[in-house]
């Protein structure tokens, strides 16, 4: 009788562990999705910022090539900044893990 009860308890614990693993996977996927959305938002904010800076105080004729270059440069800076932050997060996670 006790052995059967122990087996039931062990089975319940295994089921709970599998549920936690599934939830952990979902959390990881959601974190990745949030990260992608943040990147998209940052890209859009960068473009808007550059366009706003170009349009402020300018004559109606705007050098579109210059604007595009500035947008691309700003995007590259933002990408590098994000990479740096991601690497810091990875480093922190590894540090916490070990």
- Residue 59 banded pLDDT, cuts 50, 70, 90: low
- The pLDDT of residue 63: 72
Radius of gyration, alpha carbons of the chain: 25
- The pLDDT of residue 11: 92
Q: How far is CA 28 from CA 17, 24, 34, 93, 96, in A?
A: 16, 6, 10, 14, 17
- Residue 10 banded pLDDT, cuts 50, 70, 90: very high
Q: Is the dihedral of CA 41, 47, 53, 56 positive or negative?
A: negative
Domain-wise residue ranges, the chain:
1-59, 63-97
- Residue 41 banded pLDDT, cuts 50, 70, 90: confident
Residue 88 pLDDT more than 80?
Answer: yes
pLDDT tens digits, one per residue of 73-82: 888 888 888 8
Using CA atoms of 55, 58, 64, 70 in order, give the dihedral in degrees to the nearest 10. Answer: -60
Average pLDDT over the chain, rounded to an integer:
82
């Amino acid at each position: 009788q006790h052995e059967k009860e122990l087996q039931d308890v062990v089975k319940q614990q295994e089921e709970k562990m599998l549920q936690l693993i599934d939830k952990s996977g979902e959390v990881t996927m959601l974190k990745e999705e949030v990260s992608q959305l943040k990147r998209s938002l940052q890209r859009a904010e960068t473009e808007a910022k550059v366009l706003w800076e170009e349009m402020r105080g300018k004559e109606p004729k705007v050098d579109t090539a210059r604007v595009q270059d500035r947008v691309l440069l700003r995007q590259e800076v933002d990408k590098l900044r994000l990479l740096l932050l991601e690497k810091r997060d990875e480093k922190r996670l590894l540090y916490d893990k070990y």
